Amino acid sequence: MKTLHYINSFFYLITIIPYLTIHYTMIGMYAQFVLGIAQILIAIIILFYIKGYNKNIRKHMSYYCSFVLIIMFTFLVLSKTNSIDSQAVLIACVFIIPMLIASYFVYITYLIQKQ
């Protein structure tokens, strides 16, 4: 499982570094899409082995899955209803909140790697 943590950390760094440089923000947005796919695939792999982890990690994984489902549902509802009037709401739903969830998943893979 160390490999999954390293892969996750690699994709996370590839995403966060362009965001930190103002000139490459668009590359960070594209990288965030790839990060999301990678993290969902890693989460599916982890869920296959969930019985082997302690309660703390299982609790964190259930929180992570809940957060992902909530943000996906929220984005789906907002995009279908065309109710996004504020740029701040759009930016939060598409970029900021998913990156916070991605940071939380890096922490979860760290805990798994440490176990």
Give the number of domains in the chain.
1
**Exposed/middle/buried for residue 11 (C-beta within 10 Å: 0-12, 13-18, 19+):** buried
Write the pLDDT tens digit of every residue in 14-57.
Answer: 999 998 888 888 888 899 999 999 999 999 999 999 998 999 99
pLDDT score of 85: 64
Q: Measured between alpha carbons, how far is residue 65 from residues 23, 61, 71, 90 in Å?
A: 33, 6, 10, 21
pLDDT score of 86: 64
The CA-to-CA distance between both ends of the chain, in Å, stands at 9
pLDDT score of 67: 93
From the CB of residue 89, how many other CB atoms can be counted at a distance below 10 Å?
Answer: 13
Contact of 25 with 96, CB cutoff 8 Å:
no
Residue 70 lies in domain: 2-114
> How many angstroms separate the most distant Cα atoms in the chain?
45
Write the pLDDT tens digit of every residue in 58-114.
Answer: 999 999 999 999 988 887 877 777 665 666 677 777 788 899 999 999 999 999 998
